[in-house]
């Protein structure tokens, strides 16, 4: 179930079929990093089997007009989040910075630690960033009316359904993400469509917005978002090439990790928590001024999105979750590009549309704000 324990699972499969059957709609779908290492379990495959190509084929056969990867939104998130980290360091602004891509912990801090609301990065989460780019840049590039575009997110997460409805993310003229379905719902749709998943050939994501890096894949596991951000921040801060991109001190299944990463002559102090009990401990350290961190990652689900509330049930068997994690790191190693700022389609997007990372247009489209909410 959802780690916030505040949400029950709503079933949105019918809405997706309805959109796919509407000839006036251009329906695009994006898949989160953690889906590709767990979806196969719903079809009898071993935990950790990487099914990216089969999943793309299944989505194309179901009738989506275009199939994209939320990893593109994750690369975009890193461009903004690494810029924000460097901006805060160089301008003596609030540190630590907290990654903001998990909506369950964002809600947790709004309710439980409102005095720390200047700490999270203002970046929207990757799938919401992707939805915004789909209804602006992609719509313009393809001559589409954004009102006729339906963005479907396949997520490992039930909290993402509530996130897509947050008023500050839907106040602009276009609702950025229209429908969120979970990995389990996708599995049900594939079965409903009569697709024999195990026997599918592999396909590639559509372009543009389909090129992604290893940095974006590791968003799917605890420690991955901060590692991806450091791969980029390191090169931007030092002007030197980062040869070994794997930061072992940020990895593993421990619920609370403290680590130091050397970036030139600076030592970045990192905190990583997964599971809301560990998040509370970390946030209390910060509130009481005990922990001196430069950057923090929090994921509400123990282990991160690979063990999300919308994934195939693991029934507390963390051997399954570890296999998914190993597969995520394998996907990273399989990628030619492993740093977000080297993604050519991301660079093209900034050059032709967004301008500078963390600049005015990027800020307007890719950032949000958080609010104190009533304690529950
Ligand atoms: Fe959702 Fe991932 Fe956060 Fe779990 S860790 S609540 S799956 S975003």
Angle, helices 70-90 vs 126-133, to 10°: value is 110
* Residue to mutate (ligand 1; options 155, 157, 297; most atoms within 8 A of CB): 157
Q: What does the mean pLDDT of the chain come to?
A: 94
Q: Cβ contacts of residue 352 below 8 Å, gap of 6+?
A: none
Distance between Cα 300 and ligand 1 center (Å)? 6
In a domain, 6, yes or no: no
The SS3 assignment for 143 reads: coil
Look at residue 173 in the predicted model and tell me its pLDDT.
61
What's the pLDDT at 4?
41
Per-residue pLDDT tens for 24-54? 999 999 999 999 999 999 999 999 999 999 9
The model's pLDDT over 108-120, given as tens digits with 9 standing for 90+, comes to: 999 999 999 999 9
* DSSP string for residues in 116-139: GTTSB--BPPHHHHHHHHIIIIIH
Return all residues near 90 (Cβ < 8 A) that are at least 6 apart.
Answer: none
Residue 358 confidence class, pLDDT cut points 50, 70, 90: very high
For residue 163, the CA-to-ligand 1 centroid distance in Å is 11
Q: What is the arithmetic mean of pLDDT over 348-373?
A: 95
What token pair was written down for 188? 């049900």
Give me the pLDDT at residue 254, please: 95
CATH code for position 84: 3.40.50.1780
Distance 339 CA to ligand 1 centre (A): 23
Burial label for 352, CB within 10 Å (0-12, 13-18, 19+), is: exposed
In the predicted model, is pLDDT for residue 260 greater than 90? yes
The number of the ligand 1 atom at minimal distance from the alpha carbon of 105 is: 3
Token pair 């247009």 in the structure block, residue: 361
CA–CA distance, 213 with 75 (Å, rounded to integer): 7
Picking from 306, 371, 272, 340, the residue whose alpha carbon sits closest to that of residue 129 is 340
Distance CA 306, CA 303 (A): 7
- Structural domain boundaries enclosing 63: 13-366
Least confident segment among 59-63, 164-168, 358-362: 164-168
The residue-averaged pLDDT of 143-164 equals: 96
Mutate to test the pocket of ligand 1, among 274, 305, 314 (most ligand atoms within 8 A of CB): 305
- Is the residue at 374 inside a domain? no
- The reply to whether 8 falls in a domain is no
Domain-located, residue 92: yes
Q: Which residues of 6-18 are buried (b: 16+ CB within 10 A; e: fewer)?
A: ebeeeebbebbee
In-domain check, residue 33: yes
Sheet holding 256-263, edge to edge: 97-98, 295-299, 266-274, 256-263
Each residue's pLDDT tens digit, 324-338: 999 999 999 999 999
Q: Which atom of ligand 1 is least distant from the CA of 125?
A: 8
Reported ipTM: 0.99
On the CB side of 297, how many CA atoms lie within 13 Å of its CA?
Answer: 32
Pocket test for ligand 1, best of 7, 226, 301, 314 (most atoms within 8 A of CB): 301
Residue range 176-187: mean pLDDT, rounded: 96
Which pLDDT does position 6 carry in this prediction? Answer: 45
Q: Give pLDDT tens digits for 292-322.
A: 899 999 999 999 999 999 999 999 999 999 9
Q: Which residues are catalytic?
A: 81, 84, 101, 121, 160, 163, 168, 305
124 part of a folded domain: yes
What are the tokens at 368? Answer: 């949000």
Span from the CA of 324 to the centroid of ligand 1 (angstroms): 15
Q: Which two tokens stand for residue 294?
A: 């430069």
Percentage of the chain surpassing pLDDT 70?
96
- For residue 5, the model assigns a pLDDT of 40
- The predicted-structure confidence for 285-294, as pLDDT tens digits, reads as follows 999 988 789 9
Report percent pLDDT > 90 for the chain: 91
How many structural domains compose the chain? 1
């Amino acid at each position: 179930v959802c780690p916030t324990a505040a949400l029950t699972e709503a079933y949105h499969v019918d809405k997706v079929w309805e959109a796919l059957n509407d000839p006036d709609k251009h329906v695009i779908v994006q898949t989160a990093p953690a889906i590709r290492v767990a979806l196969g379990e719903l079809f009898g495959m071993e935990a950790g089997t990487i099914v990216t190509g089969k999943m793309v084929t299944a989505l194309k056969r179901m009738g989506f007009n275009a199939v994209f990867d939320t990893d593109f939104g994750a690369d975009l998130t890193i461009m903004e989040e690494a810029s924000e980290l460097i901006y805060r360091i160089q301008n003596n602004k609030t540190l630590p910075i907290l990654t903001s891509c998990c909506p369950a912990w964002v809600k947790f801090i709004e309710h439980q630690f409102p005095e720390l609301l200047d700490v999270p990065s203002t970046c929207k989460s990757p799938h919401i960033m992707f939805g915004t780019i789909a209804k602006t840049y992609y719509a313009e590039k393809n001559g589409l009316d954004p009102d006729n575009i339906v963005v479907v997110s396949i997520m490992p997460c039930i909290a993402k359904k509530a996130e897509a409805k947050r008023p500050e993310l839907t106040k602009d003229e276009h609702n950025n993400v229209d429908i969120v379905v979970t990995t389990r719902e996708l599995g049900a749709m594939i079965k409903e469509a009569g697709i024999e998943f195990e026997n599918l050939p592999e396909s590639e994501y559509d372009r543009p917005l389909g090129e992604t890096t290893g940095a974006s894949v590791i968003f799917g596991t605890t420690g991955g978002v901060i590692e991806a951000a450091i791969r980029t921040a390191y090169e931007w801060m030092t002007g030197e090439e980062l040869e070994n991109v794997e930061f072992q001190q940020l990895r593993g299944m421990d619920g609370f990790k403290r680590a130091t990463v050397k970036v030139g002559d600076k030592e970045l102090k990192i905190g990583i928590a997964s599971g809301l009990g560990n998040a509370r401990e970390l946030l209390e350290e910060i509130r009481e001024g005990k922990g001196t961190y430069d950057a923090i990652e929090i994921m509400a689900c123990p282990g991160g999105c690979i063990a999300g509330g919308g994934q195939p049930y693991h029934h507390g068997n963390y051997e399954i979750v570890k296999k998914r994690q190993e597969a995520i790191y394998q996907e990273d190693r399989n990628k030619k590009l492993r740093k977000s700022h080297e993604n050519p389609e991301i660079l093209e997007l900034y050059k032709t549309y967004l301008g500078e990372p963390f600049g005015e247009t990027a800020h307007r489209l890719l950032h949000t704000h958080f609010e104190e909410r009533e304690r529950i």
